[in-house]
Amino acid sequence: MYEPKRPETTISEDIHDRFQTTQEFLPTQTAGPALRPTEIIPTETAENTPTSLPKPSPTPTFTPTPMWMTYDDINFRDQEIEALFTMVCDQAQIYINPFLVRPYSPELLDSGDFNTNLNFGIAWEHLGYYGLWIHSGQSNQIGDLTAYPLQLYLENNTQGIRRNPTELFEHLQNCLIGSEMRLRQGDTLSVNRVIAAVRIPPSEVEEVNRQPMNLVPYLAENYPDSGFDQMDLPGLLFYFCGRQLSGEPYNTNSEYWTQSRFVIGFMPVDGDG
């Protein structure tokens, strides 16, 4: 149904210029923690986003202040952001188009809007960390969704062929961890390093979905080689869905685009690099 597709790893000069600062922090290869390959059981349908979202429990109590839902001067209160990754491998660059971020509330999840309106992500705060649940995959109505360029880079090789679990594990370890990620919002730029990354197999997605308010320590304990034990405050997570990998069975209880989960952990880079 879906033909091989090569990841787009170059950006325009205009995008490059928008993400520049007076002081550059280029990604350096660091000896990141070895990631544990995870078994994956593939998914079900084709062109939809997850039918359920992790519901924080207990329900968090937010105190709106000028700093509430603000990460490294990036405002997650109903504002747009865009992102640029510069990978360790070959300095490949992955651009994520501007998307709206809305702060978590029980009413927002209960409304079902996230499952039907594919143009925004949900931000939540847990233990001092921020998380962004963002759409991935493709839809008939919109085409490529927010995290799809990054998802494609992680799941497909340079020939456009889906990686197998071992290949994806090595790709996370060698090319993603240690990379740079820049968040841009207007004139505000946040420069970050990828500290941790893990792919959650379908058999473990349900349990991980129960941990949104405890996600960083949960991942550090249950995926000890993923790097989440290196996360410190302030920190940010990207959380999005992934597909079946090559050689994996298809999980008929999940959608085509929602077989697994990716969780990526970032920390800001200070002026000393």
pLDDT at position 158? 93
Residue 70: partners with Cβ closer than 8 Å, 6 or more residues away: 76, 77
Answer yes or no: is 47 within a domain. Answer: yes
Helix spans in 32-81 (H): none
Answer yes or no: is 168 within a domain. Answer: yes
Give me the number of domains the chain comprises: 1
| Domain CATH number, residue 172 | 2.40.260
Distance CA 241, CA 254 (A): 11
Q: pTM score, two decimals?
A: 0.82
Distance CA 202, CA 39 (A): 8
Answer yes or no: is 205 within a domain. Answer: yes
pLDDT at position 15? 93
Answer yes or no: is 25 within a domain. Answer: no
Answer yes or no: is 91 within a domain. Answer: yes
Burial-class residue 230 by CB neighbours within 10 Å (0-12, 13-18, 19+).
middle
Per-residue model confidence as pLDDT tens for the chain (273 residues): 456 788 889 999 999 999 997 555 444 444 444 433 333 333 333 334 444 445 444 444 444 444 779 999 999 999 999 999 999 999 999 999 999 999 988 888 778 777 777 878 999 999 999 999 999 999 988 899 999 999 999 999 999 999 999 999 999 999 999 999 999 999 999 999 999 999 998 888 889 988 888 999 999 999 998 999 999 999 999 999 999 999 888 888 899 999 999 999 999 997 544
pLDDT at position 3? 60
Answer yes or no: is 30 within a domain. Answer: no
Residue 247: partners with Cβ closer than 8 Å, 6 or more residues away: 164, 165
Place of tokens 């340079």: 158
Q: 44 is in which domain, residue-wise?
A: 37-268
- Written as one letter, the residue type at 3 is E
Answer yes or no: is 16 within a domain. Answer: no
Answer yes or no: is 69 within a domain. Answer: yes
